[in-house]
Structure 1
Amino acid sequence: MTLDNTLVIIPALNEAATIPQVIQALQTQGLNHIRVVDNGSIDGTAQVAAQAGAEVVQEPIKGYGQACWTGLQAMPTAIEWILFCDADGSDDLGQLPEFLAQRQSYDLILGNRRGTAAGRKQLSPVQNFGNWLSGSLIALGWGHRFQDLGPLRLIRKTALDQIGMRDRNFGWTVEMQARAVECGLRICELPVNYLPRQGGTSKISGTLGGSIQAGTIILSTLTQLYWHNLWRGGATPNPEKHQPGLLFLSAFLLVAGTIYTLPHGAFSEPTSVIHFWIGSAIMGVGFILAWMLRSVPGIWFWGVAIATRLLLLTMYPGNDIWRYLWEGYVQLQGFSPYDFSPMADVLKPLRTEWWDQINHPYASAIYPPVTQFGFKTLARIGLWVPLFKAAFAAADLAVCWLLSRRFGHRATLLYAWNPLVLYSFAGGGHYDSWFVLPLVMAWLWFDRPGAAADTLPPFTYLGSAFFVGISIAVKWISLPVLAFVVWHALRRGRIATALGSGILGLGPVVLAAVPFCSPTSCPLVKFGSSFVVTGRCSELIPYIVEQLWEPSRWANWLYAFPLALVVVWLLLRAHTFHKFTEWYLIFLMVISPIIHFWYLSWLMPFLVFSRNLGIRLISLSAYVYFTLLYMSAQEDYSWILPEAQRHILWWPFVLGIAWSSAKITWPKLGLTPKLNRT
């Protein structure tokens, strides 16, 4: 069997120690057309390759795909087959006869390292996972299951021409395989051994950065290929056929990403933040895949929702939780957290072993009275972080239950499987789920299916106002929502109902405030607190204004005016609880000078109904907020998000909001794009 029609291409970067043995092994198999593409080596790789009998081509532009592409240029006319292999000696070239024997039956013959015990053993966990994930995504997108993205591969030249390779980096292999399916090529995977690297340093699996870079490129390549395939009108997967696989993959990634993040919640080292980002990215991919599900069985919905939250209860929490424990504890000792900061001399005898982890110990309490009652109740049971986190997760799961009863499991995935929600409550241990739960109850009570706005009975207003009142007493942010309920009644001439709604809405705050107030003092609202006056870190509009007018940096009160105007505008325009609250919170996020990661969780229940693209995107882009923790781990305590990261955080939100709004507005104007008519 002649091999003069076969060209071997070997991309090489600093492989002088191994390339001679690889070339010799190929020559032993009867392969004489061997082309080594030197991708910028500084160890003499080109010289030793030439001495071993290979043709050497120089390609200074770095990139695996770039090197492969260069190797394909100016081929001899007699070449009909191209063999790709690595230069590090890890490919078992003794198995080449098995490859060559398949040439009559196939167009693309791939080495499957996961098909042998020796191969699986040599692959790192990251490589195994990456190959499995890539194969699964190709199966979902193209309907063909690949086991590996191995470097050892033999392809017919005419088939390669048909594919029309475009990638110039680590996406080369995945592009070849996905496009081979699109082009209808005959494909074969053969189990192959995978040997330990014989020398040099791995460019991918050997470093964390290399693995992240390669994984990102591969996933982005698959995304581009999928949309190009749709644009070309190529074969697309049968949605119903692949739903079980998509459901499993989405659930698996969410749980796997959760498990990956668990050891990295303390953020004490920069690497812990990086690992947290990796785990969160895995969860993010699972969350995005969930958007494509057509239905979700209840056992899957609740299984993932509960499992991820239970796992995250074991994660090291955010530092807010130590203040929660402290404020509950000092109440049990007869002190008001509104009157004494954690540093107060009178509280010195009460300091615990975790006292030094309390954030902002110079400031007294800022949380509303019902929240303080909740902290006190939990502290009476025990000063245990998992207990407090479980209480927040329980309220979070109650939100999942309410939303799923109204909108179904599939729609509620946008909340229940949302990585931002999962971390905020069960992982980070922020109490905001206590605020979200009564707000959702008020929404679902007010916006009843089939009920006309002009015929709502009084109990609808009163019940919704009461739930909003509880939300206000947990977090002041809900106060404008109570104004909506009262105004909605007033606009319809229901003065008594409006008055009753106002009383019921303010009742929880007033009653809960009694233990903390006296006839002469009620220190519940800290207008002089640094949190209120100058606190900032990752805001949008106030940051832009600050660049134009620096004195605004020290006057957070300025932004109460535009927010008040927004509230008035919404009161005049909004007719449903959902519309008013969602848009009030959207404007609050971009106008407020004080924004933290978990504040964005307030928006997420309303996403279930609106499916707003901007809110979906910020569920993912918000993770750039943890740059602040990365900076702190490097002893940069400025706590101001850099400008580049600020753009990454906010612009997906703003542009997504604009896109979703346009999709609603255009049909009314008769300007709906063709894309939206399909």
Structure 2
Amino acid sequence: MRNPGSAIAMEAIQVVIPVRNEECTLAHVIGQLQAQGLRRIRVVDNGSSDGTAAIARQLGAEVLSEPRPGYGRACWAGCLNLAPDVDWLLFCDGDGGDPIEELPRFLELLPHHDLLVGDRTATAVGRASLTPLQRGGNRLATTLIALGWGFRYRDMGPLRLVRREAFEAMAMADRGYGWTLEMQVRAIELGLRIREVPIAHRPRLAGDSKISGRPGASLQAGSVILFTLGRLWLRRLQLPASALLLIVGALLMRPHGDLFDAAQLLPFWLAAAVMGLGFALSWSLPTIPRALFWAVAVLARLALLGMEPGDDIWRYLWEGGIQLQGFNPYRLAPDAAVLEGLRTPWWSSINHPDTTAIYPPLAQLLFQLHAAVAQQVLLFKLSFTAADLAICALLAARFGAARAALYAWNPLVMYGLSGGGHYDSWFLLPLVAAWLLAERDPPPQGPRPQACIDLLLGLSVALKWITLPLLLQRAWSRWWQFRRPGPVLNTLLLGLAPLLLGTSLFCGLRSCPLLPTSSSFIRHGRSAEWLPHWIGQLWPWTLQTNAVHGLLLLLALAVLLPSSARLGVFAWRYLVVLLLLSPVVHAWYFIWLMPFAVPSQNWGARLVSLSAFVYFVLPSRLPNWQLTNPERLLLWLPLLLGLLLSARGRTESPPRR
């Protein structure tokens, strides 16, 4: 009779049996597993042409079909959509060779280990069950692992128990015969508690082996295993190479921030290419150690703090400074005669000096606060970088370091915020916080977290006008959730409160000039745009008015609002559409997409993080601020092709617990 501890352990174990044409042996294997008290048994049919699947169903096993060939692919299919209370995964073969009756010895070791592997070479019976090719391949693989990773295994046996959390951290990539090897290597890399358990493995009970009984297949499997080892070894170098290239690239970029000087463009691009290569190397990393994740994220940003910023930051400093003197930046443009006495040595660097402020009230108050401390570029950059790193922390906590690297190790994000000195991280931080809180698992309950979501969205709106549709989508979803006006009004009141309070500090009773709608910049300014450019080629009159593209955006929102229930999904779709339709696009605007691309690792976001650097050909061309058609294609096509690639792709990942 089993003790209670064993019974609980059995209920927490999901058995995965990959099979192909095992109708003669599978009943024996399932019977043994059930005799041990195991009830969660998944048989993954990997393209059987016999009655294997029917036998499994008759015996009460759950049968999954994975017709695409591959041992690892079948194992992976068995690990998807696990029940929440599954804590362990048990892998075994369906040929009857694994001694399931020895499983109690494995169970005794569960509390103190993360990976238990049956060692066939540790018993005379087990050694006798292996062919000479299997023994030789085993010895070669374990020796190479020992040389490469410093841990000595004795066997690559199929019978194994792995803790669910450990398995999810492994982020298994192999879908063939390298599956078992990759699991054991990843266990070493993750520092898991590993134990090999001697077992009296037997030859298969009946039928033909797909590998060991066929020399050709054995050699093919051996070559796959060697290839897998090589790939894993190269991946060991990939992580430090990615980190090093990002930091070195940032150091190389630092002296070349003055992009109004044409001589700085080529070295700037070369540094961006070095960072881009490091970023691209990070895309296929299954895991990134937290310490290294933060080391790269912080050091690369610190390296860029000292570079010459973009010209937007001089408006931040100017508008914050004149507020301290009692002037309203929404009423007085930088070149106003009354402000001439306040001009600083860097005043000539302010862009559009004939245009009044375009940034929302809360942004203006933060400019004033920072200027009150010190009217220095470094202080503003440090503030932007602090908000940027807070976004990194939120994303890493929710999605893990490897996925969050799409934002945290992104060269465009690093340059745009820490190097170029653009304030976009200020509005992205509350927006990302609202999104992650709204989609927390389990969902937030009660009025307080809902109010926090509304207020965070409101802070984002009060910092950047473009986030207003996200607040409207939140109100829309609240309506469909409750079908009564109360929650919707609460959302709108809380969400608009920061904007209204900030506006009251700058607006009078008769006028509220928060946007300089009469300026040429607002009415027909253009920069690196996509659809407005091509529309203008067909209908030149649209080049004289940006209002038509605002109407197109309203039509797009009318389609998006009722179709996207989740805040993160809506944010991604809306921001993509906004960028495609906007007549004014700067490279750092693509940063807006990056947090919302982290869950899906969208290829469009990845590729435009590299191609957006084409934009920086523009500053040295003043007063002509236009891309050539080839440059425009180089900038935008990677985003569009990446969006198409991700839309057609299928993400395979086990659900997060």
Counterpart of 2:626 in structure 1: which amino acid? I
1:357 paired with 2:346, answer no
Superposition deviation, residue 514 in structure 1: 1.3
Deviations 1:516-554 (A, max 9, x none): 011111111222232221111210100110010000001
Matched, 1:481 2:470: yes
Q: Is the 8 A contact 2:412 2:610 kept in 1?
A: yes
Larger RCO (alpha carbons 8 Å, 6+ apart): 2
- Determine the structure 2 residue equivalent to 1:326: 318
1:339-390 CA-partner distances (Å, limit 9, x unpaired): 1111111001111111111111111111100000110000001111111111
Tell me the residue number matched to 2:646: 660
| SS across alignment from 1:245 | helix
- Measure how far apart 1:450 and its partner are: 3.8
Q: Which amino acid aligns with 1:422?
A: M
Change (3 A) 1:331 1:422: same
| Residue identity in the other structure for 1:318 | G
* Contact 1:318–1:429 (8 Å) recurs in 2: yes
Counterpart in the other structure of 2:40: none
Deviations 1:586-629 (A, max 9, x none): 00010111111111111111111121111111011111001112
Contact residue 464 and residue 485 of structure 1 kept, 8 A: no
Paired amino acid for 1:404? A
| 1:582 matched to 2:568 | no
Q: Classify the secondary structure of the residue corresponding to 2:625.
A: coil
CA distance in 1, matches of 2:519, 2:620: 26
Select the residue among 586, 590, 595 that pairs with 1:596: 586
Match of 2:514 in 1: 524
Q: Residues 325 and 379 of structure 1 are in contact (CA less than 8 Å); yes or no, is this contact kept in structure 2?
A: yes
Amino acid at match of 1:571: L
Aligned partner of 1:83 in structure 2 is none
Which has the higher mean CA deviation after the structures are superposed, 564-573 or 537-546? 564-573
Alignment TM-score, normalising by the size of structure 1? 0.62
Corresponding residue to 1:498 among 477, 488, 494: 488
1:317, distance to aligned residue in structure 2 (A): 0.4
Q: Which residue of structure 2 aligns with residue 139 of structure 1?
A: none
What is the aligned partner in structure 2 of residue 550 from structure 1? 540
User: What's the counterpart of residue 260 of structure 1?
Assistant: 252
Match of 1:225 in 2: none
- Does the 8 Å contact 2:334/2:355 carry over to 1? yes
Instruction: Give the letter for the 1:464 counterpart.
Output: I
Q: Does 1:400 align with 2:392?
A: yes
- Code of the residue aligned with 1:578 in structure 2: it is G
What is the aligned partner in structure 1 of residue 613 from structure 2?
Answer: 623
Residue 562 of structure 1: which of 552, 573, 589 is its match?
A: 552
CA–CA separation in structure 2 for the residues paired with 1:362 and 1:640: 21
The answer to whether the 8 Å contact 2:259/2:616 transfers is no
CA contact (8 A) 1:570 1:580 kept: yes
> Unpaired segments of 5 or more residues in structure 2?
1-146, 149-222, 653-657
3-state SS of 1:251 partner: helix
Question: What is the rounded CA distance, in whole Å, between the counterparts of 2:542 and 2:441 in structure 1?
Answer: 45
Q: Deviations over 1:546-587 (max 9, x none)?
A: 010000001111012221122121211111111000000000
Aligned ranges 1:226-375 → 2 under 5 Å: 235=227, 238-375=230-367
- For structure 1, list consecutive stretches of 5 or more residues without a partner in the other structure: 1-142, 145-231, 668-678
Taking the aligned partners of 1:569 and 1:450, their CA distance within structure 2 comes to 29
Contact 1:264–1:272 at 8 Å: present in 2 too?
Answer: yes
**Distance in 2 between the 1:268 and 1:586 partners?**
28
2:423 aligned residue (422, 431, 441) = 431
Cα distance in 1 for partners of 2:521, 2:438 equals 33
**Partner-residue secondary structure (3-state), 2:301:** helix
Q: Report the AA paired with residue 663 of structure 1.
A: G
Q: Which of 615, 619, 624 is the aligned partner of 1:638?
A: 624
Q: CA deviation at 1:298?
A: 1.1
Q: What do the CA deviations read for 1:232-261 (whole angstroms, capped 9, x no partner)?
A: 989455444334321110010001111111
Asked whether 1:651 is paired with 2:637, we answer yes
- Count of aligned pairs: 430
CA distance in 1, matches of 2:450, 2:523: 35
- How much has 1:494 moved relative to structure 2? 4.1
Note if contact 1:628-1:639 (Cα within 8 Å) is conserved in structure 2: yes
Percentage identity across paired residues of the two chains: 44
Q: 1:235 to 1:241 in 2, by over 3 A?
A: closer
- Look up the SS of the partner of 1:610 in the other structure: coil
CA distance in 1, matches of 2:230, 2:564: 41
Alignment correspondent of 2:603: 613
Residues 422-466 of structure 1, C-alpha deviations (whole Å, 9 max, x = no match) = 001000000111011111011011111243xxx964444322121
Instruction: Choose which of 498, 504, 518 in structure 2 pairs with 1:508.
Output: 498
SS in 1 for 2:308: coil
Give the aligned partner of residue 107 of structure 2.
Answer: none
Structure 1 residue 267, shift from structure 2 partner: 1.9
Q: What is the TM-score of this pair, normalised by structure 2?
A: 0.64
Distance between the aligned counterparts of 1:306 and 1:298, measured in 2?
A: 12
Tell me the secondary structure at the aligned position of residue 580 of structure 2: helix
* Partner Cα distance (1:584, 1:380) in 2: 36
The CA deviation at 1:271 is 2.3
Q: Could you report, residue by residue, the CA deviation over 1:300-332 in whole angstroms, capped at 9, with x for unpaired residues?
A: 000010001111110010011111100000000
- Counterpart contact for 1:298–1:409, Cα < 8 Å: yes
Q: Secondary structure at the match of 2:426?
A: helix
Which residues in structure 2 correspond to 1:183-222 (within 5 Å)?
A: none
Q: Which amino acid aligns with 1:279?
A: A
Q: What's the CA shift for 1:656?
A: 1.1
SS in 2 for 1:395: helix
Q: Measure the CA separation in 2 of the matches of 1:490 and 1:267.
A: 48
- Matches of 1:482 and 1:529, distance apart in 2: 28
Q: Distance between the aligned counterparts of 1:627 and 1:353, measured in 2?
A: 26
Paired with 1:491 and 1:565, the residues of 2 have a C-alpha distance of 21
Q: Which residue of 441, 449, 452 maps to 1:463?
A: 452
The answer to whether the 8 Å contact 1:368/1:473 transfers is: yes
Contact between 2:357 and 2:515, CA under 8 Å: does it hold in 1?
Answer: no
Verify the 8 A CA contact 1:458 1:497 in the aligned structure 2.
Answer: no
Q: Retained in 2: the 8 A contact 1:316–1:427?
A: yes
Q: In 2, are the aligned partners of 1:425 and 1:431 still within 8 Å (CA)?
A: yes
Give deviations 1:32-54, integer Å, cap 9, x for gaps: xxxxxxxxxxxxxxxxxxxxxxx
2:513 counterpart SS class: coil
Residue 251 of structure 1 aligns with an amino acid whose one-letter code is A
**Is contact 2:475–2:491 with CA below 8 Å preserved after alignment?**
yes
SS of corresponding position for 2:254: helix
SS at match of 2:255: helix
Alignment map for 1:33-112 (pairs within 5 Å):
none
Q: 1:630 to 1:349 in 2, by over 3 A?
A: closer
Whole-angstrom CA distance in 2 between matches of 1:237 and 1:658: 33
Residue pair 1:264, 1:275 contacting (<8 A) in 2 also: yes
Quote the Cα distance in structure 1 between the aligned partners of 2:539 and 2:267. Answer: 38
Q: State the SS of the aligned residue for 1:516.
A: coil
Contact 2:330 2:515 in 1 (8 A): no
What amino acid does structure 2 have at the position aligned with 1:245? Answer: L
